[in-house]
Amino acid sequence: MAEHEDYPSPRAGAGVRVRLVAAVASVLSWVGVICAAVLVAHVVLTLGGANPDNGITRFVAGWADPLALGFHDLFLPADPDLAVLVNYGIAALFWLVLRAIVLRVVRRLG
């Protein structure tokens, strides 16, 4: 008699795929939230009048500028605080919308 070899069932790979898609979705979700949070922190620090020479303020501003993509000078109101609020606020919303779209696509592919 031939020995019975254990072959993985086709469904065994499905569990791995589901876990992989969930892990990827989780990482992408956190990336989107962190990007938006950095932009919101920049708005709060700016509108709150934080010391621009403070290390935390410089750190947040240093990350917020590249995360704002092309939004940092989208609107040019006369009030610089309003410019930060509107432009970086729109950039934060962009990251949250992008996060939602990417998560939906990743979950559908999985």
Domain boundaries, the chain: 35-109
How many other CB atoms are found less than 10 A from the CB of residue 68?
Answer: 23
| Interval 4-54: pLDDT, tens | 556 555 566 677 888 888 899 999 999 999 999 999 999 999 999 999 999
Read off the pLDDT band of 68 (50, 70, 90): very high
Q: What is the pLDDT of residue 2?
A: 56
Instruction: Give the span between the Cα atoms of 64 and 67, in whole angstroms.
Output: 5
pTM over 0.85: no
39 closest CA partner among 3, 5, 82, 87: 87
Q: How many CA atoms lie within 13 A of 38 on its CB side?
A: 20
